[in-house]
Amino acid sequence: MTETTSTTSVSAEQAAREQALTERVLDSFENTRDPRLKEVMQSLTKHLHAFIREVRLSEEEWNTAIEFLTAVGHITDDRRQEFILLSDVLGASMQTILVNNPANGNATEATVFGPFFLEDAPEIPLGGNIAGPAHGQPCWVEGTVKDTHGNPVSGARVEVWEADEDGFYDVQYDDHRIAGRAHLFTDEHGEFRFWGLTPTPYPIPHDGPVGKMLAATNRSPVRASHLHFMVTAPGLRTLVTHIFVEGDPQLDIGDSVFGVQDSLIKRFEAQPADTPTPDGRNLGDKEWARTRFDIILVRNDERQ
């Protein structure tokens, strides 16, 4: 008699031996005092054993996996977090975000945080510029922050950060520059506005083990063009999200960390040279773009 797994067949006797081991490991967690830890460890055991049995993992493959995880650890330091990158490209980061941020009426959807946020980005006034020394096409970004009942949220802290036109965040340069990032606060109508750069596609760091894994599986490291936001306000759930650029071909090719949500794709309207800007300036022969992002935050006491 045989028992069928998705890739191969094993005898009933073999299947029973394998299942008995899984049961012994599950039992080993029975005395875990914290019920949540017990649930997580037993579920992890079930899925991990099922995976090993389903693919009939060879000992050589298991060694390769250990070497891979060791390399992920070795390249990780206080500036580079290869484990988060691994979680990102496996869709685990995004799945965790989906599980923890269920659709909530008209509330703005969340997406991945990424590794390039800095706590102490400078404050800019409304209408200020986040670019600093970063190069790229100027982009006017405006919008409102409201709660799910349509009430404007004044004084919300809006953190924004993005890569330059060469695809690098300031922290990826060695000269300690602060560029392409800032925070500002919404006014009494919940409105914000600032100058940034029109986002362009860029690859996630791919010179380490995660990059090798992407190459081996014929996957691109490139992210769809985006501008990061983190919005915080008292009594409201913090939102970590991005906006993406409508028409960016990378949206069809795919985002390497699975961060795209349709509701976050925004029109970035190209403005020909000499078009007066919303803050009454003329950028001369420089083209610029403008976009709008209206943000809706969930109240802490609202059901998730």
Chain contacts with ligand BEZ (rule: CB under 6 A) = 85, 88, 112, 114-116, 204, 223, 257
Taking the least distance from each CB to ligand BEZ, the nearer of 194 and 244 is 244
* Residue number closest to ligand BEZ, CB atom: 114
Min dist. Cβ of residue 1 to Fe ion (A): 53
Residue in the block written with tokens 């300031």: 170
Distance of CA 63 to the CA centre of its chain: 30
Q: Give every CB contact of residue 273 below 8 A, 6+ residues apart in sequence.
A: 283, 284, 285, 286, 287
Q: Give every CB contact of residue 142 below 8 A, 6+ residues apart in sequence.
A: 191, 192, 193, 194, 278, 290, 291, 292, 293
Taking the least distance from each CB to ligand BEZ, the nearer of 32 and 81 is 81
Burial (CB < 10 A; 0-12, 13-18, 19+), residue 163, is buried
Position 146, amino acid: K
Residue in the block written with tokens 């998705």: 6
H or E element, residue 115: none
152: DSSP letter: B
Min dist. Cβ of residue 210 to ligand BEZ (A): 9
H or E element, residue 240: strand 239-245
257 binds, among Fe ion, ligand BEZ, none (CB under 5 to 8 A by kind): ligand BEZ
Taking the least distance from each CB to ligand BEZ, the nearer of 45 and 111 is 111
Taking the least distance from each CB to ligand BEZ, the nearer of 147 and 170 is 170
CB 148 within 8 A of CB 235: no
Min dist. Cβ of residue 258 to ligand BEZ (A): 10
CA distance 70 to 303: 41
88 binds, among Fe ion, ligand BEZ, none (CB under 5 to 8 A by kind): ligand BEZ
185 binds, among ligand BEZ, Fe ion, none (CB under 5 to 8 A by kind): none
Min dist. Cβ of residue 55 to ligand BEZ (A): 27
Taking the least distance from each CB to Fe ion, the nearer of 144 and 256 is 256
Q: Which residues are at the interface with Fe ion (CB under 5 A)?
A: 114
Taking the least distance from each CB to ligand BEZ, the nearer of 158 and 204 is 204
Min dist. Cβ of residue 93 to ligand BEZ (A): 7
CA distance 238 to 255: 24
Min dist. Cβ of residue 290 to ligand BEZ (A): 22
